[in-house]
Amino acid sequence: MPVDPKEKIARRVAYELKEGYLVNLGIGLPTLVANYIPEGVHVYFQSENGIIGMGPEPEKGFENKDLTNAGAGFVTALPGAMTFDSAFSFILIRGGHLDVTVLGGLQVDEEGHLANWMVPGKMVPGMGGAMDLVTGANKVIVAMTHTAKGEPKIVKKCSLPLTSVRRVDLIVTELAVIQPIDEGLLLKEISEETTLEEVLRLTEARLIVSSELARF
Amino acid sequence: MKVITHKEVAELVKPGTTLMIGGFLGVGTPEGIIDQLIENGVENLTVIGNDTAFEDRGIGKLVKNRLCRKVIVSHIGTNPETQRQMIAGELEVELVPQGTLAERVRAGGAGLGGILTPTGVGTVVENGKQVMEIDGKKYLLELPIRADVALIKAKKCDYYGNLVYNLTATNFNPLMVLAADMVIVEVEEIVPVGTLTPDEIKTPGVLIDYVVVSGVK
């Protein structure tokens, strides 16, 4: 049976989340990570619109107009949840209190720089909280498909405006797990459904293949 | 504070005013006040807010009705009309990282001369800004921001104007209360003084100028 790329990515990213972590999931693909937290692991989900302890979407009829995620979707508050204002929310993000942020990406390059907030002349959604998240979180995980319309997204040098000059910590695609290090991009894992040749062919950036290359 | 009608609010907000409007994608935005501004056609506004929400919601409605000259926000991705007007040169858009916007508003209300943030260093956000190096780390000097009028949404208040916010509808509201010359709040209900506990009040009523009640014309 073919594997859904987004589910593959979300499952692998979820494995990075450890007991007691404070985690911010971006809108879109990163949101799926919440569905695959390993059993027995308890993490706290923060959303930049002002909540820790965000729970899943409520059942129909139980929506609260004032309880939403960063995409304005209705959510629930788990027992023990707390809400707060935007300054406090970004104090958590920028001040070294957020253990992990998981964000989508348009491009990541050999220096581990992420571009994910605009395509000049085409799409200018704005950076929202992304620049603060990438600059401030203790660990930045980029969760994205390996290519877009067949074009590599892991490139030598980002051609799109950067989100931050901070080096991201991990890149997870449906094909590979890559860790940016001083020497470049370390290919640590490839998926069960691919080959090393395919990963190298679909990656523009130079990859350093780990001597302990694993499968996921 | 003084309780007024929606119509009176629109008379307080003149064309050309710089507004701060609370809310996150319309959650925690005073929709009744916005509807009244649209009804009165209060134009040429500069709006400071988290985002331009959706075309039929929050600040998005002001954009759609072409009442804004400029918006200072962190995100416009959910409102295609904002992007269209920006690309057509009809609307000036200043994009500010969300955490930086929160701190600039806070600085504006806190009497600070600016804030230093690592966010944006080395990106296009750095353009035209002073970069300061402190203990070997680079920061951008971001300046405080204030408005003529803040339009705030709270769940309820008492007759002193003490505000209680609700859940994620809090967001920028308590920061913006402090950073404008005039503060107008839309609440869902007004309760007697003494029925709110001191620790549930997040904004003291002494800072509030006017209150309108949602749905009460």
What is the mean pLDDT of the segment spanning B185-193? 98
Instruction: Using pLDDT thresholds of 50, 70 and 90, give the confidence band for residue A35.
Output: very high
Pairing state between β A139-143 and A154-155: unpaired
Q: Is the confidence at residue A179, as pLDDT, over 80?
A: yes
Give residue limits of the domains in chain B: 2-213
Which of B74, B83, B123 is opposite residue A124, by nearest beta carbon? B83
The pLDDT value given to residue A121: 83
List pLDDT tens digits, range B123-174.
999 999 999 999 999 999 999 999 999 999 999 999 999 999 999 999 999 9
Q: How many residues does chain B have?
A: 217
What is the pLDDT of chain B when averaged over all its residues?
Answer: 97
pLDDT of B216 strictly over 90:
no
Q: Cα torsion for A82, A87, A93, A96, to the nearest 10°? A: -100
Average pLDDT over residues A160-173: 98
Is ipTM strictly over 0.90?
A: yes
Q: Determine contact, residues B63/B71, Cβ cutoff 8 Å.
A: yes
The topology under which CATH files domain B2-213 is Glutaconate Coenzyme A-transferase (3.40.1080)
Please report the pLDDT score of residue A93 as a whole number.
Answer: 98
| pLDDT over 70 at A28, yes or no | yes
Confidence check: pLDDT of A8 > 80? yes
Q: Would the pLDDT of A158 be above 90? A: yes
B217 has pLDDT over 90: no
CB contact, 8 Å: B40 with chain A?
A: no
Q: How confident is the model at residue A1 (pLDDT cuts 50, 70, 90)?
A: low
Residues A169, B97: Cα–Cα separation, whole Å: 21
Report d(CA B71, CA B86) in Å as an integer: 10
Measuring CA to CA, how many Å separate B204 from each of B160, B198, B216?
8, 10, 23
How far the first Cα of chain A sits from its last, in Å, is 16
**Looking at chain A, which residue has its C-alpha nearest residue B50?**
A128
CA dist., res. A31 & res. B90, Å (int): 35
Per-residue pLDDT tens over the stretch B40-79? 999 999 999 999 999 999 999 999 999 999 999 999 999 9
pLDDT of residue B215: 87
Burial of B106 (0-12, 13-18, 19+ CB in 10 A): buried
Which active-site residues of A does the annotation give?
48
With a cut of 80, say whether residue A2 has pLDDT above it: no
Among the residue ranges A166-170, B85-89, B119-123, the one predicted with the least confidence is B85-89
Q: Closest Cα to residue B30, out of B177, B188, B157, B201?
A: B188
Interface probe for B, chosen from A127, A133, A163, A168 (most Cβ of B below 10 Å), is: A127
Whether pLDDT at A6 is above 90: yes
Mutation target vs A (from B98, B140, B170, B189; most A CBs, 10 A cutoff)? B98
Beta strands in A38-191 (DSSP E): 44-47, 51-55, 76-83, 100-103, 107-109, 114-115, 139-143, 147-148, 151-152, 154-155, 170-172, 176-181, 184-190
Residue range A119-136, pLDDT digits in tens: 988 888 999 999 999 999
The CATH T-level fold of domain A5-215 is Glutaconate Coenzyme A-transferase (3.40.1080)
Written as six digits, the tokens of B163 are 């505000």
- Give the gap in angstroms from C-alpha B39 to the nearest C-alpha of chain A: 24
Listed by start position, the domains of chain A span: 5-215
The DSSP output letter for A119 is B
Closest residue of chain B to A47, computed from CA coordinates: B168
CB A187 within 8 A of CB A194: no
Question: What would the mean pLDDT of B202-208 be, rounded to a whole number?
Answer: 98
When CB atoms are compared, the residue of A48, A71, A83 closest to B170 is: A83
B133: helix, strand or coil: strand
